[in-house]
Amino acid sequence: MDNFRILVIDDEEIVRESLSDWLQKFGFYVETAENGARGVEKIRSAQWNIMLVDLKLPDTNGLEILKEARQVQPAAVVIIITAYATVDTAIQAMKAGAYDYITKPFDPDEINLVIQKIIEHQKLLDENLFLRRELTKRYTFQDIIGKSPKIQEVFELVKTVGPTKSTVLLRGASGTGKELVARAIHQLSPRNEKPFVAVSCAALTESLLESELFGHEKGAFTGAIAQKKGKFELADNGTIFLDEIGDIDPKTQADLLRVLQEREFTRVGGQETIKVDVRIIAATNKDLNKLMQEGKFRQDLFYRLNVITINIPPLQERREDIPLLCEHFLHKYNIENSKKIQRLSEDALKVLLEHNWPGNVRELEHAIEHAVTIEKTNVVTMESLPPAFRAQGAFPCAYVAEDKPLDEVEKEYILRVLKKHQWNIQKVAGILNIDRATLYSKIKKYNLEQK
């Protein structure tokens, strides 16, 4: 176990030496620090699996060291040791994230037993992490994550359609991953070494979209100070992805139809006919059939685009994929933020599983990014999720099901959260997404008392 690193921070030399001797006999690598400043220096300069920190130090206290350790090395386990144990300091230490609180004098076997439990726990976490990552790999297809039958159907269609020349229409709500699917089709095609050019049709006005797609000649309009190639030319021999195709205007629809039929077009303000070899993948979150009935989308263009249709399911129809997606985004944002968060707590995952996900996978990704960014431990908790999710998690559906008056529901709910967090006003106000003054006024209104 010489690869298991333990740091002992204690101002008593006899404690440092005896702990170091015992732990090294048990096979651990051990270093010591005689005060808080030296301890912080070692925490910042090397990785530790466990830190044994004295509560009372000459220049600081163990709780301050604990805070530093949680920020610098959230995956490390911190054990507070003290000869002056009190209930208050024990509670403070555990609330601040200490793994255990051990009083002096020590029994070497007791210390070893605690560390063995930590090692076993760490092994289980590592195994779970490994299995989850293996599972993620198994159900990852060209950066699309999912094991649900509906997303597996999408995988199969992409595999089938990718190597062909067919035009593809992707249909699905915003945030479902339509561009990822388009890129997957391109990667599986013989054009994968040629450009993949994406255009968001809804982001541009009629004139700008026409110029963006087909290019323009110098002087074609005010501001056209030079000739510019359009996206179709840039995508020649590759793939062009036309996102939000349902938002394009009738004039551009007609021009686009010509490209689909003839594989040629003219730059804005130009005379030259330009031929291209481009595969078209279009996507929409709108009901094109309804738009056609309303006369807002050309039927002939629809039939040209709708050669192969792939329907991408919303996240609420494939909830079994949420844990896999959470694991994937956890890994992604751990790397981006240099963190080692290992998992989501049970209540945090439960809230995510029960959410309606109007923003689909994109909304889930942002929630996990938010949580990873602010979380200071190695587990994503309810408190690190965005405020809307915290409120959802703290508001059990049972309250609603009982048909109680709103005031009564609010009173019970606030009391429940206060008890859960030991009447920590600041923390509870944050969870409820209200300020402290509002929380105090509600406590007074409902005559809530700490018992």
Whole-angstrom CA distances from 296 to 171, 210, 212, 291 are: 17, 18, 21, 5
Round to whole Å and give the CA distance between 80 and 90. Answer: 9
Could you list the mean pLDDT of each consecutive 10-residue stretch along the chain, which spans 451 residues?
Answer: 83 91 89 94 91 92 89 85 79 81 82 86 77 73 89 94 96 94 95 94 83 90 87 96 93 91 91 93 94 94 95 94 92 86 88 89 94 88 84 50 66 81 80 76 83 66
Q: What is the pLDDT of residue 402?
A: 52
User: Shortest CA distance to 258 belongs to which of 289, 288, 293, 298?
Assistant: 298
pLDDT at 401: 44
Residue type, 325: L
Q: How far is CA 167 from CA 32, 161, 202, 281, 290, in A?
A: 66, 9, 20, 6, 21
- pLDDT confidence of residue 120: 85
* pLDDT at residue 398 in the model: 43
Burial of 308 (0-12, 13-18, 19+ CB in 10 A): middle
Q: How far apart are CA 285 and CA 362, in angstroms?
A: 14
CA atoms within 13 A on the CB side of 228: 18
Cα separation, 326 vs 344, whole angstroms: 8
Distance CA 44, CA 28 (A): 20
- State residue 391's pLDDT score: 63
Kindly state the tokens that stand for 184.
Answer: 């997957």
SS3 content of the chain, % helix, strand, coil (to 5): 50, 15, 30
How far apart are the C-alpha atoms of 203 and 209, rounded to whole Å? 8
Give the per-residue SS3 of 333-392: HHHHHCCCCCEECHHHHHHHHHCCCCCHHHHHHHHHHHHHHHCCCCEECHHHCCHHHHHH
DSSP type of residue 203 = G
Write the DSSP string, 39-70: HHHHHHHS--SEEEEESB-SSSBHHHHHHHHH
Instruction: Return the pLDDT at 397.
Output: 43
Q: What does the alpha-carbon distance between residue 361 and residue 249 come to, in Å, rounded to a whole number? A: 29
Our measurement of the distance from residue 147's CA atom to the centroid of its chain's CA atoms, rounded to an integer in Å, reads: 18
User: Could you report the per-residue pLDDT of 185-209, keeping only the tens digit for each?
Assistant: 999 999 999 999 999 988 778 778 9
Question: Does residue 8 contact residue 65 with C-beta atoms inside 8 Å?
Answer: no
Task: Write down the number of H helices and E strands in the chain.
Answer: 20, 18
Task: Report the C-alpha gap between 2 and 24 in whole angstroms.
Answer: 8
414 contacts: CB under 8 Å, gap ≥ 6: 428, 432, 439, 442, 443, 446, 448
Report the largest interatomic distance among the alpha carbons of the chain, rounded to a whole angstrom: 92
- DSSP string for residues in 246-299: GG--HHHHHHHHHHHHHSEEE-BT---EEE---EEEEEESS-HHHHHHTTSS-H
Tokens of 418: 């206060």
Show the CA angle centred on residue 396, arms to residues 395 and 398, nearest 5°.
135
Put simply, whether the predicted model's pTM sits higher than 0.85 gets the answer no
pLDDT tens by residue, 258-314: 999 999 999 999 889 999 999 999 999 999 999 999 999 999 999 999 999 999 999
In degrees rounded to 5, what are phi and psi of residue 309?
Answer: -110, 135
Instruction: Please report, to the nearest 10 degrees, the dihedral formed by the alpha carbons of residues 221, 224, 228, 231 taken in order.
Output: -60
Burial of 243 (0-12, 13-18, 19+ CB in 10 A): buried
The residue written with tokens 């009564």 in the block is: 408
